[in-house]
């Protein structure tokens, strides 16, 4: 008999396992819904970042670091 199966799991362990399974199910469901919407509208999922946004984020990086020092 496996020692892991012989040990009774706590309610907390069971709850954590079920919550993790629920989060994964919800993540997959959301991804599925978003992909369906992207297919319907003819857009790419996940959306590709635009170059203008990437430059904007990089420009804000020094200010962001200054705020958190």
Tens digit of pLDDT for each residue in 17-45?
999 999 999 999 999 998 898 888 887 75
- CA–CA dist 50, 37 (Å, integer): 20
Burial 28-55 (b: 16+ CB within 10 A, else e): eeeeeeeeeeeeeeeeeeeeeeeeeeee
pTM of the model: 0.50
- CA–CA dist 8, 37 (Å, integer): 44
Q: How confident is the model at residue 64 (pLDDT cuts 50, 70, 90)?
A: low
Tens digit of pLDDT for each residue in 9-21?
999 999 999 999 9
Task: Tokens for 25, please give them.
Answer: 């199910």
**Can you give the residue ranges of every domain in the chain?**
3-67
Confidence at residue 12, expressed as pLDDT on a 0 to 100 scale: 97
Is the CB of residue 19 less than 8 Å from the CB of residue 27? Answer: no
Three-class secondary structure of residue 68 per DSSP: coil
């Amino acid at each position: 008999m496996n020692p892991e199966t012989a040990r009774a799991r706590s309610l907390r362990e069971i709850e954590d396992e079920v919550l993790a399974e629920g989060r994964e199910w919800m993540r997959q469901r959301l991804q599925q819904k978003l992909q369906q919407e992207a297919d319907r509208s003819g857009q790419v999922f996940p959306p590709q970042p635009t170059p203008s946004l990437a430059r904007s984020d990089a420009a804000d990086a020094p200010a962001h670091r200054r705020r958190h020092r």
